[in-house]
Amino acid sequence: MIEQDKVLACVDQSHFADHVTDYAAWAAKRMDAPLELLHTIDRHPEMGNGRDHSGAIGMNSQEILLTELTQEDEARSKAARETGRVFLNRLRERAASAGVTQLDVRQRHGNLQDTLTAQENRVRLFVLGRRGESAEVTQRDLGRHVEQVVRALHKPILTVTEGFTEPRRILIAFDGGIITRRGVEMVAASPLFKGLPVHVLMSGAPIADGPRQLDWAVGVLRAAGFEVTPHLLPGDTERVIAQTVTDQAIDLLIMGAYAHSFWRSWLFGSKTTELLRSAKLPTLLLR
């Protein structure tokens, strides 16, 4: 079982899992890191089989009902585990065919956020679908777990969209803050993006030392051997990033995520959530 310095891909039983696996396999190969595919099974004790138990009265009825409900829950759990095992084996074969050699699969009962938090110290990169099983029913453009999971973790998280395109051109949304400065240093030191051209974009309201901060980012990346193109484009951040992605044929976006508290985001909205909803390309989130 893989325990250290791994790429951890979170998959559920939706067609989005194929794309998560593809990006996770790409990252694991470039980082020469082991890959683990993780499937969590949520327990829903409130779920039933639709039968009406309200008439279950009489001697020993409570014990009989509890026994019956326990058996039903065990049967559901067993079926979920077996379905998950088959599903994970298919994804294992997909990752292996993509060239991943250090590969493991794991299935856990429990809450996704708690499971990932417990694993974090052993993970170099998380890979998470921006949509999942519930989105196939609701058609929501951002999965209900994404913000909660991203806020709970501190390692980089690659959130992916539908379809797979091998990244060839990278854009760093750089604001000069500590999170994106660390992101620049991470990109410079990591093998994940080695050899790929990198664009560094500063947008938003103009700041006095913006050019100096942009020069710092460019210098760090060029010193690490990257081909770097800087952009200093004042204006609405979401609109400028979207236009730059199109103009420069960007395949992957890197940005800081959820710098403000949950309650502030709930009251005033979150730029991270807006960008994730509007961006149609994989995004590496930094915390």
Task: Summarize pLDDT for 229-269 with one digit per residue, the tens.
Answer: 999 999 998 899 999 999 999 999 999 987 544 433 333 33
d(CA 269, CA 264) in angstroms, rounded, equals 7
3-state helix, strand, coil in the chain (%, to 5): 45, 20, 35
Phi, then psi, of 103 in degrees rounded to 5: -145, 135
> How would DSSP label each residue in 275-287?
HHHH--S-EEEE-
pLDDT at 264: 38
Going from the N-terminus, what domains does the chain have, and what CATH number goes with each? Answer: 6-44+79-160 (3.40.50.620), 170-286 (3.40.50.620)
Comparing 174 with 141, the larger pLDDT belongs to 174
Residue 65: pLDDT band by 50, 70, 90 thresholds? low
Residue 84: pLDDT band by 50, 70, 90 thresholds? confident
* Of the ranges 38-47, 51-60, 225-234, the best mean pLDDT one: 225-234
Tell which residue, 266, 259, 246, has the closest CA to residue 286. Answer: 259
The average confidence (pLDDT) of the chain is: 83
Tokens of 84: 């998950």
Residue 140: pLDDT band by 50, 70, 90 thresholds? very low
Tell which residue, 146, 220, 215, 210, has the closest CA to residue 184. Answer: 220
pLDDT at 79: 59
User: What pTM value is reported for the model?
Assistant: 0.82
d(CA 287, CA 15) in angstroms, rounded, equals 28
Average pLDDT over residues 127-147: 62
Answer whether residue 202 shows pLDDT above 80: yes
Answer whether residue 64 shows pLDDT above 90: no
Going by the DSSP 8-state scheme, the letter that residue 204 receives in this structure is B
pLDDT at 220: 98
Average pLDDT over residues 146-156: 88
pLDDT at 267: 35
Please tell me whether residue 106 adopts helix, strand or coil conformation. Answer: strand
Please tell me whether residue 123 adopts helix, strand or coil conformation. Answer: strand
User: Dihedral, CA atoms, 6, 10, 14, 19, nearest 10 degrees?
Assistant: -50
